[in-house]
C-alpha cells in the first residue's frame, strides 16, 4: 500500500464497492496447522474511482 500510495480506507472502500470476487487462490504452507488457506482476489475501485487490485 505504501509503494502504491493508497490508504487502508482506499482498500476498505474497494472491498465494499466490489460486486464479485475476481478469483480464489488456494495456498498451502507446511508451517501452518491448517494446511490450506484461501486467498481472495478482488478488483474494484475506491470512492474516487481509483482501480485497486
pLDDT of 50:
86
Q: What is the pLDDT of residues 8-23, one digit of tens each?
A: 999 999 999 999 999 9
Calculate what percentage of the chain has a pLDDT beyond 90: 47
- Domain-wise residue ranges, the chain: 8-52
Q: What is the pLDDT of residues 38-48, one digit of tens each?
A: 899 999 998 88
Tally Cβ neighbours within 10 Å of residue 13: 19
| Residue 27 binned pLDDT confidence (cut-offs 50, 70, 90) | confident
pLDDT of 37:
84
Q: Which of 2, 4, 38 is nearest to 21 (CA)?
A: 38
Q: What pTM did the predictor assign?
A: 0.68
Amino acid at each position: 500500500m505504501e509503494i502504491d500510495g493508497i490508504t487502508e480506507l482506499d482498500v476498505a472502500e474497494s472491498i465494499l464497492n466490489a460486486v464479485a470476487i475476481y478469483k480464489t487462490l488456494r495456498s498451502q504452507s507446511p508451517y501452518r496447522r491448517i494446511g490450506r488457506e484461501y486467498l481472495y482476489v478482488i478488483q474494484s475501485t475506491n470512492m474516487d474511482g481509483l482501480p485497486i487490485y
